[in-house]
């Protein structure tokens, strides 16, 4: 479907809501490219300003990948004195930045975004002849970040994991298998985690959530020269394959943030991976605490090296994001709305105290 047609559908059609369980339950977890799906999200931020300088930053979809994701832009309404779209020059992160006049009693910002997505799968049995990364991209996606170093214990661990493996594909799979077998999803972790890869390895605590487990994959891959990247986003619809743990449970997706990972392999291009969701299935898929040999877990493990079900919004691939105008240092990644009052960031993992909501609606394609 062409971009113009999708845009007409997104603008003109009323929301259909989420698909019923009967329509999405299938026998096997095997995402494959198919029809495009169009979604609209609305993020509404309300802040108790307390008569102090106040500003907010709301991430918007900025990823455009021909085979699986198109961002169609965002609009906003606000009582802010200044509001506009900002784009990070390094990673292409996009956000709506609002600054309120001092004394505004009830700052409000509402951002509406639309995008199209479809499932993706890479056939790893035969190289496709995908072009190599350019020098600048390779440098960017093998570089260390504040939370993802590529030297020291990270490089030492990665070298041990890939020992004896020659090809990029074998190395990438070895790292994936090691993470699936050695990490665990920790339900006590706030939000999606921090993603401090070095601390995880030094402490020997390989528990966490997606921003921890998938960042570990990215760090280990980069440490042995494989370009890799996190993609920060949000689940927006139930799983069509009947996995309750791998989809949004309602149209309110305020706490449905999820980051994924990709690795660039010679001959194949960017390959989707998500070891964090394998561990999520093991912990959360009913009836819960499934064995790694359970059929649901093994199906997810097989599928999530090379494919994704894209019932999911891709915001950005950014690290060390310096929020424009912020008084505090750069944040590790941008996946949640952020706000600052009197020069201090509000806890973005407390949407009740922060008072933001995100809703998602699927539109007819």
Strand partners, 261: 230, 273
Strand partners, 314: 233
Average pLDDT on 268-274 reads: 98
Average pLDDT on 315-328 reads: 96
Q: How many Cα atoms are found within 13 Å in the side-chain-facing hemisphere of 343?
A: 1
* Angle at the Cα of 57 from the Cα atoms of 53 and 59, rounded to 5 degrees: 175
Task: Answer yes or no: is pLDDT of 7 > 60.
Answer: no
| C-alpha to C-alpha distance for 196 and 145, rounded to whole angstroms | 10
Average pLDDT on 100-106 reads: 90
| C-alpha to C-alpha distance for 175 and 350, rounded to whole angstroms | 33
Task: Answer yes or no: is pLDDT of 160 > 70.
Answer: yes
Average pLDDT on 129-138 reads: 94
* 264-286: burial string, b at 16+ Cβ within 10 Å, e else: bbeebbbbbbbbbbbbbbbebbe
Q: What is the CATH number of the domain that holds 22?
A: 2.60.40.2250
pLDDT, residue 153, reads: 98
Average pLDDT on 203-221 reads: 98
Q: Which of 24-28, 76-80, 301-305, 348-352 has the lowest mean pLDDT?
A: 24-28
Q: Which helix (H) or strand (E) holds 46?
A: strand 37-46
Q: Which of 40-44, 103-107, 296-300 has the lowest mean pLDDT?
A: 103-107
Same-domain status, 56 and 95: yes
Q: Which helix (H) or strand (E) holds 362?
A: strand 356-363
Average pLDDT on 360-364 reads: 96
Contact 241, 28 (CB under 8 A): yes
Task: Answer yes or no: is pLDDT of 21 > 70.
Answer: no
* Beta strand pairing call for 344-345 and 54-59: unpaired
Same-domain status, 228 and 340: no
Average pLDDT on 342-346 reads: 90
Helix (H, G, I), strand (E, B) or coil at 95: strand
Taking alpha carbons only, the member of 351, 301, 63 closest to residue 190 is: 351
Same-domain status, 200 and 109: no
Number of domains in the chain: 2
Query: DSSP letter at 141?
Result: T
- Averaged pLDDT of the chain: 92
Average pLDDT on 186-194 reads: 97
Task: Answer yes or no: is pLDDT of 172 > 60.
Answer: yes
Largest CA-CA distance found in the chain, in angstroms, rounded: 63
Phi/psi at 283 (5° precision): -80, -45
Strand partners, 357: 44
Q: What is the CATH number of the domain that holds 188?
A: 3.10.620.30
Q: What percent of the chain has pLDDT over 90?
A: 85
Q: Which of 167-181, 243-257, 289-303, 340-354 has the lowest mean pLDDT?
A: 340-354
pLDDT, residue 349, reads: 86
Range of the domain at 301: 122-314
Same-domain status, 58 and 32: yes
Average pLDDT on 294-305 reads: 97
| C-alpha to C-alpha distance for 310 and 72, rounded to whole angstroms | 16
Query: DSSP letter at 218?
Result: H
Task: Answer yes or no: is pLDDT of 348 > 70.
Answer: yes
Task: Answer yes or no: is pLDDT of 245 > 60.
Answer: yes
pLDDT, residue 354, reads: 81
Same-domain status, 250 and 136: yes
| C-alpha to C-alpha distance for 144 and 177, rounded to whole angstroms | 22
Same-domain status, 325 and 303: no
Task: Answer yes or no: is pLDDT of 3 > 50.
Answer: no
Q: Which helix (H) or strand (E) holds 221?
A: helix 210-223
pLDDT, residue 353, reads: 72
Task: Answer yes or no: is pLDDT of 218 > 90.
Answer: yes
Same-domain status, 232 and 93: no
Same-domain status, 294 and 246: yes
Helix (H, G, I), strand (E, B) or coil at 262: strand
């Amino acid at each position: 479907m062409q971009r113009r047609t999708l845009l007409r559908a997104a603008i003109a059609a009323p929301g259909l809501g989420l698909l019923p369980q009967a329509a999405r339950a299938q026998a096997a977890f095997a995402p494959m490219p198919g029809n495009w799906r169009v979604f609209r999200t609305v993020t509404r931020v309300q802040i108790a300003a307390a008569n102090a300088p106040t500003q907010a930053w709301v991430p918007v979809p900025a990823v455009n990948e021909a085979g699986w994701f198109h961002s169609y832009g965002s609009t906003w309404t606000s009582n802010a004195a200044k509001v506009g779209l900002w784009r990070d020059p390094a990673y292409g992160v996009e956000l709506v930045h609002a600054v309120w006049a001092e004394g505004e009693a009830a700052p409000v910002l509402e951002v509406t975004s639309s995008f199209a997505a479809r499932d993706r799968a890479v056939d790893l049995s035969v190289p496709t002849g995908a072009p190599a990364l350019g020098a600048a991209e390779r440098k960017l996606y093998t570089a260390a970040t504040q939370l993802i170093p590529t030297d020291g214990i990270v490089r030492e661990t990665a070298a041990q994991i890939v020992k004896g493996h020659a090809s990029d594909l074998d190395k990438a799979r070895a790292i994936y298998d090691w993470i699936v077998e050695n990490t665990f999803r920790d339900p006590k972790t706030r939000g999606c985690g921090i993603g401090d890869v070095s601390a995880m390895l030094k402490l020997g605590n390989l528990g966490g959530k997606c921003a921890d487990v998938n960042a570990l994959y990215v760090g280990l891959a980069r440490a042995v020269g494989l370009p890799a990247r996190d993609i920060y986003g949000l689940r927006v619809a139930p799983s069509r394959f009947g996995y309750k743990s791998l989809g949004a449970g309602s149209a309110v997706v305020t706490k449905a943030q999820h980051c994924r990972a990709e690795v660039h392999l010679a001959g194949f291009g960017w390959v989707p991976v998500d070891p964090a969701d394998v561990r999520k299935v093991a912990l959360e898929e009913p009836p819960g605490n499934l064995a790694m040999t359970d059929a649901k877990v093994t199906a997810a493990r097989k599928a999530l090296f090379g494919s994704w079900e894209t019932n999911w919004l891709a915001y950005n691939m950014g690290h060390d994001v310096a929020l424009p105008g912020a008084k505090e240092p750069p944040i590790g990644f941008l996946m949640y709305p952020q706000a600052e009052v009197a020069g201090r960031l509000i806890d973005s993992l407390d949407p009740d105290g922060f008072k933001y909501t995100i809703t998602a609606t699927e539109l007819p394609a």
